[in-house]
Amino acid sequence: MPGAAAVSGADPRRHVAARPAWRCRVCAAPWPCQPAKLALRDEYPDDLVGLSVYLCVLLHEAASDWARVRTSPPDPAELFRRFVGWTRSPPR
């Protein structure tokens, strides 16, 4: 899977998710942060469907983590915008 390193944390300089909070290990922004989005677009340059499927899997993992560590449920629309919705816009 091309984007697998996005969550593995293999490279300490990469903007990867720190679970279960799903914040970037480098900049502490909600993941995927802007640098992570750019890196993911680079990893999936001609496969928007593959990128979206990968991010949907991560969205479900984030929702599961959220339910495990927080008392209030996440906003599904916000999680979608955060993890998948940005893929619909052109890269910056």
Bridge-partner residues for 30, per DSSP?
A: 23
Distance (Å) of CA 86 to CA 12, 13, 33? 24, 23, 11
Task: Give the per-residue pLDDT at 88.
Answer: 85
40-85, pLDDT tens digit by residue? 999 999 999 999 999 999 999 999 999 999 888 889 999 999 999 9
User: Per residue in 13-24, pLDDT tens?
Assistant: 899 999 999 999
This prediction's pTM:
0.80
Query: What band does 6 get if pLDDT is binned at 50, 70 and 90?
Result: very low
Paired tokens of 46: 């001609």
pLDDT in the model for residue 46: 93
Q: How far apart are CA 11 and CA 28, in angstroms?
A: 16
